Chain A
């Protein structure tokens, strides 16, 4: 059999033929002969690669480049650029339409896909698809060639740290649990991905569940655990279903159950579903929820490694941590450690949200800068507006202003800047975002999700929220800023679990970086971003208003009056400042004062 370095697949469906597909093929053959490439590049016919309306079109493999709108005259250019010089002829490349996958786009040059490598590529409900991508090879290697100590050593040398946000070294956690003399031992996969804006774990569970299951079996072998739980939030029904199917298939293949790979190691897995409580992502609360109790955290120690589920030694890791494990075993610790910074190795998935051109999931090597994430991976700010802040680390993280854009993304740098890695949500805000409103917003969330067990968190978050609401309503008082700072410190130092300790972070970080906005609200009764409703009013500009009545007809509270073809007027006492009038006005006649 003859081997070619590149295959060119030309669509020869009737529509493309009518548009000259065969002429394209002839031109390709002629040009390849002329350039002396005919022995290296094969031209083939194929049915339907696009929808033919941009025909003639062709696909180039292994590059997976889709060219369309071609004429025979374009062929010499493509052959010279792409096949001779190795540069993609951008002007003929078909742009992926938005409908394809809004969550997970083709990777940008800055991205490296380790955890997300199979997502969207394999059928998650078919274990054979995963096996075809070297799935369960790592498990086979572990079971036949490695002792539990060697597994812990390999993962330890890779530098893998907890991807749930705290960044505790995974191997160390396993070692601690392994050492405890008590049996049986349990392992937990924390899939209670509750941080607003974070959906990386959901995508992995829905798109590549076996990578998590394989990682868990390897961890269980290293620790000596006999039973595992995947605690998944109820807001992710598809992830729960996919996981159950995957576990059943893994059982049928003998990867789960008694005597895995005919060894004396037995391990099984079960999915546990939450019922809508954010705090259950905290490990002691999660354990309480698995046991059928209120998901309230308890003080540590004892740590779950000593006393976890049913009072037995328990090791708990995040979805993404487990999904990295099979790759580390297969490719080696040094491969993993070659990515990232000195203390933060490997890649990290993030969910980009907010005012970006390209939102969705990304996976980047740690150590990348925020600027690269926002402007190269995320495509920059939507409508080319100005960048104002990036919020990392979820509701317990912080908002970082433009000065931090060149900071590398790793556990230590983010913590030093007053934010945190968190599970991986990133919300980008443009210049039209009010930072006081954002702080109020996050406090509303934590206040709502506080489990109520300890006073600093239960009462403190409520008081913080009240002060922030007061400021947003234009009723801020002299001394409020100092009060916020003092209260934040007390909540941070006195709360029982990570939720309370992190709750004031959005307030502390916005006070640190955007203090002038708080001052404008309190002392000047002005919302610089024109967001806080009590401090703004909508007005119609007479010189632009045509009297078309669209605004008046769409106003939900009938605050707009005016005859057809006459200038309209908004009654500020009736107006609820919903902004619908501004959205529907075709003449940009409505402004915020």
Chain B
């Protein structure tokens, strides 16, 4: 687990408390809570899981079991920008693989890797349901459809 300073830990705890208060401290709200914490902090740091465990009276083992199961939850830090590339069949048959390979080559990253400078995380995603405009990739909240390999450098250049 990554070491964090006391101030950072305090900030994490406060974020968790606000989110738990919004949903209510019950087990059936666990996945919505984890989703929100993951979104606000970028991942689920150990300090956040500890605080959720305390507030919901759920063992840490169970929290780790849940957060390691779902692909949208991460227990490791991720990059500032998250690229989700749709790896589903409809995108694949309309040229998705060439786009994926160009992405990997441009970023020097493989699937589910984060760049050393902390800028990018390259992730694959299951179908986003945007199949009529495939190949599709999503960077943060921006959706790019009908992507061609030669557009990749221009798309990546939009993010700092």
Residue B131 CB within 8 A of the other chain:
yes
Say whether B98 contacts A579, CB under 8 Å: yes
- Contact of A359 (CB < 8 Å), options: B72, B101, B132: B132
Say whether B31 contacts A353, CB under 8 Å: no
Say whether B34 contacts A276, CB under 8 Å: no
Least CB separation from B111: chain A residue: A448
Least CB separation from B62: chain A residue: A293
Least CB separation from B96: chain A residue: A441
Answer whether A198 and B127 are a contact pair too, CB < 8 Å, given A275-B72, A277-B70, A427-B89: yes
11 sample A-B contacts, Cβ–Cβ < 8 Å, listed by A number? A102-B133, A103-B132, A198-B129, A235-B129, A291-B28, A353-B132, A395-B89, A427-B90, A445-B126, A449-B126, A578-B102
Chain B 85-115, CB-CB to A under 8 Å as 1, else 0, gives 0011110111000100110011000000000
Say whether B31 contacts A274, CB under 8 Å: yes
Residue A12 CB within 8 A of the other chain:
no
B: number of interface residues (CB 8 Å): 41
Excluding A235-B126, A235-B129, A294-B66, 14 further A-B contacts by CB distance (< 8 Å) are A102-B133, A202-B129, A275-B31, A275-B35, A289-B31, A294-B69, A295-B69, A353-B89, A354-B93, A359-B90, A360-B132, A441-B92, A557-B105, A576-B105
Say whether A359 contacts B129, CB under 8 Å: no
Say whether B28 contacts A275, CB under 8 Å: no
Say whether B150 contacts A584, CB under 8 Å: yes
Say whether B71 contacts A576, CB under 8 Å: no
Chain A 568-593, CB-CB to B under 8 Å as 1, else 0, gives 00000000101110011000000000
Which chain A positions have C-beta within 8 A of B55? none
- Contact of A578 (CB < 8 Å), options: B66, B125, B149: B149
Say whether B65 contacts A294, CB under 8 Å: yes
Which chain B positions have C-beta within 8 A of A198? 127, 129
The CA-CA distance from A236 to B129 in the complex, in Å, is 8
Which chain A positions have C-beta within 8 A of B66? 292-294
- Contact of A580 (CB < 8 Å), options: B31, B34, B149: B149
- Contact of B89 (CB < 8 Å), options: A194, A360, A438, A576: A438
Say whether B126 contacts A276, CB under 8 Å: yes
A: number of interface residues (CB 8 Å): 56
Residue B27 CB within 8 A of the other chain:
yes
- Contact of A433 (CB < 8 Å), options: B30, B62, B93: B93
Say whether B71 contacts A276, CB under 8 Å: yes
Which chain B positions have C-beta within 8 A of A276? 70-73, 125-126
Say whether B93 contacts A199, CB under 8 Å: no
Which chain A positions have C-beta within 8 A of B129? 193, 198-199, 202, 235-236
Least CB separation from B73: chain A residue: A275
Which chain B positions have C-beta within 8 A of A291? 27-28
A506 to chain B minimum Cβ distance, whole angstroms, is 9
A276 to chain B minimum Cβ distance, whole angstroms, is 4
The CA-CA distance from A449 to B71 in the complex, in Å, is 10
Residue B8 CB within 8 A of the other chain:
no
Say whether A578 contacts B150, CB under 8 Å: no
Interface residue ranges of A258-310 to B (CB < 8 Å): 272-278, 289-296
Interface residue ranges of A322-373 to B (CB < 8 Å): 351, 353-355, 359-360
Which chain B positions have C-beta within 8 A of A130? none
Chain A 190-217, CB-CB to B under 8 Å as 1, else 0, gives 0001111111001000000000000000
Least CB separation from A309: chain B residue: B28
Q: What DSSP secondary structure best describes chain B's contact surface?
A: helix
Residue B32 CB within 8 A of the other chain:
yes
- Contact of B98 (CB < 8 Å), options: A289, A433, A580: A580
Say whether B127 contacts A197, CB under 8 Å: yes
The CA-CA distance from A25 to B47 in the complex, in Å, is 74
A423 to chain B minimum Cβ distance, whole angstroms, is 11
Give the residue among B31, B34, B87 with the most A Cβ atoms within 10 A.
B31
The CA-CA distance from A295 to B31 in the complex, in Å, is 11
Say whether B69 contacts A580, CB under 8 Å: no
Say whether B72 contacts A445, CB under 8 Å: no
The CA-CA distance from A563 to B125 in the complex, in Å, is 42
The CA-CA distance from A273 to B149 in the complex, in Å, is 33
Least CB separation from A382: chain B residue: B94
Which chain A positions have C-beta within 8 A of B89? 196-197, 353-354, 391, 395, 427, 438, 441-442, 445
The CA-CA distance from A388 to B20 in the complex, in Å, is 52
Which chain B positions have C-beta within 8 A of A438? 89, 93
Least CB separation from B148: chain A residue: A583
The CA-CA distance from A438 to B88 in the complex, in Å, is 11
Say whether B28 contacts A290, CB under 8 Å: yes
Least CB separation from A557: chain B residue: B105
The CA-CA distance from A12 to B134 in the complex, in Å, is 40
Say whether A445 contacts B31, CB under 8 Å: no
Say whether B148 contacts A353, CB under 8 Å: no
The CA-CA distance from A444 to B92 in the complex, in Å, is 12
Say whether A278 contacts B30, CB under 8 Å: no
Residue A556 CB within 8 A of the other chain:
yes
- Contact of A277 (CB < 8 Å), options: B34, B71, B98, B131: B71
Residue A497 CB within 8 A of the other chain:
no
Say whether A235 contacts B90, CB under 8 Å: no
Residue A234 CB within 8 A of the other chain:
yes
Least CB separation from B58: chain A residue: A292
Residue B82 CB within 8 A of the other chain:
no
Chain B 114-139, CB-CB to A under 8 Å as 1, else 0, gives 00000000000111111111100000
Say whether B93 contacts A427, CB under 8 Å: yes
Say whether B27 contacts A197, CB under 8 Å: no
Residue A489 CB within 8 A of the other chain:
no
Residue B40 CB within 8 A of the other chain:
no
Residue B29 CB within 8 A of the other chain:
yes
Residue A554 CB within 8 A of the other chain:
yes
Which chain A positions have C-beta within 8 A of B90? 196-197, 353-354, 359, 425, 427
Give the residue among B65, B71, B92 with the most A Cβ atoms within 10 A.
B92
Give the residue among B28, B70, B127, B131 with the most A Cβ atoms within 10 A.
B127
B127 to chain A minimum Cβ distance, whole angstroms, is 4
Which chain B positions have C-beta within 8 A of A351? 131
